[in-house]
Amino acid sequence: MQVLERDSTLVVSLGGVHRVERWLRLLVRWLLSVPIFYKVLLANSLIVVLGATVGTWLTVRYRSSAPPGASGEELVLLFTIAGIALSVLVNFVVLKAAFQPLVSLERTVEAVRRGDLRARASHVAFRDPQIDQLIDTMNAMLDGLEIYRERVRSLSRQVLAAQEEERQRIARELHDETAQSLTSLLIGLRMIEKSTTPQELAARVAEMRSQTGRVLEEVRKLALDLRPSALDDLGLVPALQWYTDDLERRTQIKIDFHSSGMEQRLPDEVEVVVYRIIQEALTNVVKHAAATHVDVTITRQPGVVLASVVDNGRGFNVEGVRRSRERGLGLFGMQERVGLVGGHFEISSEPGRGTRVAIRIPLEGG
């Protein structure tokens, strides 16, 4: 019976210890979650309360035990020095621990300044909610910056590859078509030299005239593919009108082009951006959309120019395409191109419901 009583007493004691330990953990966790301001305020309040309590108690004890006529200046001086030392020590410990997250932030910022975008600020045990939120925000910003940097690198690689492919295409067309046509002209000139009758000479000249026309058409087509002369000479609307008409003729896709408020020319960089975005959007329609009808609209309003390309094609999942390595970079490239002139790029699409590409570019003075 006595053994059972001792065991039950021991169990009750252990239970009390565990409860105390749990409450202490909760107290410590709460103290760690308190902002720095309140940590310092709480520490200094404890110092004041402790100093007042202990000082009063020691003063009473000293007065009760001191001989009559004894001076208390030594005790006051001792309490003053002890209070100052204790206050400085506690504040040093609290502030040193409380500002550890700021030290982590400082190291991370310095690492990023040196070019290490993979550096991240870490949480510490003696944490502060506001600084923790700042750390999380900064880490999220660095994650987004790293993703953006990787996209820019991928886009740069794609741009370089596209440049090389374009150079190869131009070199191949010059060699296979233009060079051969010029060779034919050279042979025709030699044949003219050997012509013996006026009829033969006239036939050779007519043939060379036809070959010269083909060479001029090939060179003109090559130049238009690189940059349409109408964009520089006549402006954005005629260049787009010519491009959409030519694309409709070559692809059999019905393209309706509408413009309003475009009586005056836009700035050169804005015209180039709008033209290239519409060109890229129509190229994507031809390659991927399987559309039969496209609406191209460009409108100038006070202080802004709006443009859109809407097709009735198969559509796609926008977020899925943004994550792809090829088409996602294409969308990213269009967005970056619009961003260079301070504009806004938007694309919306659903499978089976077509696609809408829209841009909004502010104009100077608007």
Which stretch of 70-79, 159-168, 232-241 has the lowest confidence by average pLDDT? 70-79
CA distance 127 to 137: 15
Q: Which CATH superfamily is domain 236-362 in?
A: Histidine kinase-like ATPase, C-terminal domain (3.30.565.10)
Neighbour order of strands in the sheet with 304-311: 254-260, 293-301, 304-311, 355-362, 344-349
What phi, psi does 154 have (nearest 5°)?
Answer: -65, -40
pTM of the model as a whole = 0.53
Helices then strands, each counted (H, E), the chain:
12, 5
H or E segment and range at residue 138: helix 129-173
- Three-state secondary structure call for residue 112: helix
CA distance 89 to 321: 59
Which stretch of 120-124, 161-165, 244-248 has the lowest confidence by average pLDDT? 161-165
Per-residue pLDDT, 65: 66
Quick check: 3 pLDDT over 70? no
Average pLDDT over residues 188-214: 79
CA distance 38 to 135: 20
Show Cβ contacts of residue 178 under 8 Å, excluding neighbours closer than 6 positions: 215, 218, 219, 222
191 in Cβ contact with 204 (< 8 Å): yes
Q: Bigger pLDDT: 155 or 359?
A: 359
* Residue 154 tokens, joined: 């991928």
Taken as a whole, the chain contains a residue count of 366
User: Letter for the amino acid at 209?
Assistant: R
291 in Cβ contact with 313 (< 8 Å): yes
CA distance 98 to 131: 10
Per-residue pLDDT, 4: 45
Nearest to 279 by CA among 301, 246, 306: 246
Per-residue pLDDT, 11: 46
Tens-digit pLDDT profile for residues 335-349: 888 988 889 999 998
Average pLDDT over residues 214-232: 75
Q: Domain map of the chain by residue range? A: 18-98, 236-362
Average pLDDT over residues 185-202: 78
What is the DSSP code (8-state) at residue 99? T
What is the DSSP code (8-state) at residue 326? S
Cβ count near 354 (within 10 Å): 20
94 in Cβ contact with 40 (< 8 Å): yes
Ordered DSSP codes for 197-254:
SHHHHHHHHHHHHHHHHHHHHHHHHHHHHH--HHHHHT-HHHHHHHHHHHHHHHH--E
51 in Cβ contact with 79 (< 8 Å): yes
| E strand spans, the chain | 254-260, 293-301, 304-311, 344-349, 355-362
Q: How confident is the model at residue 257 (pLDDT cuts 50, 70, 90)?
A: very high
Quick check: 135 pLDDT over 70? yes
Q: Which residue has 């190291």 as its token pair?
A: 107
